[in-house]
Structure 1
């Protein structure tokens, strides 16, 4: 038996996460000058001017030679005050997916039961499986809304972790407060509720979107709420995510698994500046809402009905192999994300970009679909 054959079966059987394509790779391969990168839900406005001005000051080699603050003290204090949380309840990760991995390694053991939703953010399944947990997946309804009744039916006293992204990634729909409370009322006190709000800023101002932190606090359950600076804040390249845990004790267990310097100093400082610049976030969110609904109208004119979305993307069934269609669109310099989960292979997720890039997507979609 080779060394590789001796690696845990859970690891050898894991699927690779579909992290998408880079603009440089597509530009080089297809010889296109402009790329409409609409596969990773990035903010087309980028980071705020205040963040860029701060980063321009980073010229000291001495500063780069020192380890970063392992506690993210400045950023921790700002977020704790904003969320009315104890600083000890907060956790920081190299993107919120880092915290997903830490949670899986902290709270799950081989054979533990995890319940989540499909279609899913792939790491909600991959990370639990990597530690040997059994993942039970609950499909969304036919109208691509959460099936709360089915989720409740899937939860048992043996469920160790419940993972939900709200708004959903990749669909974009969201539970309201009533649905969230009904779901949590079925959860055992021995179950950790992992509530992933990567797209919180886009949804927070929408009618009916819940104050998830308040609902979790009133539940009396152990919980972990995740958010990120990668989306509305425009800092995807710096990798900063944060979590709020139900108790300092729960957060403290995760701190034992977290690598001590997982957020570099430049990223910490940029995130702190970005967190203070809420006007940039609000402008990004409003611009995205306008462009998202214009893209929705353009797709509906083509006979496509995207799912309801409170996020910065649209998810829809394109009626054919989405991976093949997306591959043809690369020749036009358009990057989208075809979905590969079983049962959703004809579905595609497209990010909301600039008006010009969104128009590129629509034209490429019409051209390449017709050429199939």
Structure 2
């Protein structure tokens, strides 16, 4: 019988296992701490809109019947929210699935993509699986984005430019002016894909949503968004893309599975979109607590990247995997970063005040013992 590595495509063997982070159950089995602060996956501590419970109770048919495969009602609501045409909106089983759909539809063996580094690993993995070459633009020593290097890479006419803004895991972001410069360097041969999973948290004078900048371009583009983060629906897996060209959206639609956005997720997303007050509370809490945790980390003498996400990226100055194990024993789940060159870095999500207190207390105790 053939070895497994001889059965699958060579590109599969070049992928690393996805670091999805530990669950509460796994940590309980390992250490049984008195309480757990789950700060490894950038989840929303306030959860979804309180209106969600009533939404799910109102229509039991959504459990029995197949959902609308086109997701028309949700797509209309998203289009109205972002002032685009409904035909520009595509739904995904989380924005992660949309990354897969785009890569399968667009990338060919030998193509090149440009992305920022360190990156959300799936930005690279799906491209690698398609046989594409990944060209990384690393952040500067102060964690800012190297705009000149990014522009130079884009001028090489890659098949795709794919990056998150704000960046995951670093938290850095492009100002409107820098974004215009980067996008202006792209040719119509390059598909621009901007992952805005954390856009709700990024409000500020020097941050701008990509849609206004992209709308003036002739090249193809897609903006990805998710309901997993600020809207608190990570467990339901629902995201969407806004595609500049409705014809491109229709072609991408052929690649997704017909019922990829389940009925419960579609209904929940509609409730989440309608509750703007809850979203404002979520963002306000994240902003206040992010500043508090960042101040604590800097007070401990640690290097921290400025962030516009609901997370912080810091250098623990030792092997991050071993360091994080010490925090797990104290009931704190964070994510050690495993990409080359950043294995002393940790990403911590911004949780509730109590969860953040537990993290800071655990980290302080850990540093004192080292």
TM-score normalised per structure 1: 0.97
Is the 8 Å Cα contact of residues 226 and 242 (structure 1) preserved in structure 2? yes
Tell me, what secondary structure is at the counterpart of 2:241?
strand
What's the offset of the Cα at 1:63? 4.0
User: Equivalents in 2 of 1:140, 1:125: separation in Å?
Assistant: 16
Alignment match, 1:22: 23
- Which digits, 9 at most, give the CA deviation of each residue in 1:153-193, with x for residues without a partner? 22244400001100010011110111001111111111000
1: distance between equivalents of 2:365 and 2:288?
24
Find 1:212's aligned residue among 210, 213, 226. 210
Aligned residue for 1:93?
92
Note if contact 1:318-1:346 (Cα within 8 Å) is conserved in structure 2. Answer: yes
In structure 1, distance between residues paired with 2:186 and 2:54: 46
Give the secondary structure class of the aligned counterpart of 2:30: helix
- Give me the whole-angstrom Cα distance separating, in 1, the residues matched to 2:281 and 2:210: 23
**C-alpha distance in 1 between matches for 2:62 and 2:334:** 38
Displacement of 1:51 in angstroms is 1.2
Map 1:81-120 → 2, pairs under 5 A: 81-120=80-119
Cα RMSD, aligned residues only: 1.2
SS, match of residue 70 in structure 2: coil
* Aligned counterparts of 2:157 and 2:18: Cα–Cα separation in 1: 27
SS of match in other structure, 1:263: coil
Deviations 1:124-163 (A, max 9, x none): 0001101111101110011101101011122244400001
Q: Deviations over 1:51-74 (max 9, x none)?
A: 12222445x3x5422111101111
Counterpart in 2 of 1:65?
64
Residue aligned with 1:78, SS: helix
User: Deviations 1:14-44 (Å, cap 9, x if unpaired)?
Assistant: 1111111111111122111311000100000
1:295 aligned partner: 293
List, as ranges, runs of 4+ consecutive aligned residues in structure 1 with deviation greater than 6 Å: none
Partner of 1:228: 226
Q: Greater shift after overlay, 159-168 or 2-11?
A: 2-11
Q: Which moved more, 1:273-282 or 1:27-36?
A: 27-36
- Note if 1:277 corresponds to 2:275: yes
Q: Secondary structure at 1:41's aligned position in 2?
A: coil
Correspondence for 1:182: 181
Pairs aligned (count): 369
Deviations 1:169-218 (A, max 9, x none): 00111101110011111111110000000001111x31211131000111
Distance in 2 between residues matched to 1:81 and 1:363, nearest whole Å: 44
Name 2:34's counterpart in structure 1. 33
CA contact (8 A) 1:157 1:190 kept: no
* CA distance in 2: counterparts of 1:112 and 1:33, whole angstroms: 51
Using the alignment, how far apart are the partners of 1:157 and 1:354 within structure 2? 44
Q: Counterparts of 2:151 and 2:258 in 1: how far apart (Å)?
A: 37
* SS at 1:49 equivalent: coil
Q: Which residue of 2 is the match for residue 127 of structure 1?
A: 126
Question: Secondary structure of 2:240's partner?
Answer: strand
In the alignment, is residue 160 of structure 1 matched against residue 154 of structure 2? Answer: no
Q: Following the alignment from structure 1 to structure 2, what is the Cα–Cα distance between the partners of residues 247 and 6? A: 38
What SS does the corresponding residue of 1:153 show, helix, strand or coil? Answer: helix
Further displaced range: 258-267 or 146-155: 146-155
Q: Counterpart of 2:28 in 1: which secondary structure?
A: helix
> Structure 2: where are the runs of 5+ without partners?
none
In structure 2, what is the equivalent of residue 2 of structure 1?
A: 2
Task: Please tell me whether the aligned partners of residues 157 and 188 of structure 1 are also in contact (alpha carbons under 8 angstroms).
Answer: no
Which of 256, 261, 264 is 2:262 aligned to?
Answer: 264
Indicate the residue corresponding to 1:359 in structure 2: 357
2:240 equivalent among 230, 239, 242: 242
Residues of 1 paired with 2:190 and 2:62: CA distance? 43
Work out the CA distance in 1 between the residues paired with 2:64 and 2:55.
19
SS at match of 2:159: strand
- SS class of match (1:67): coil
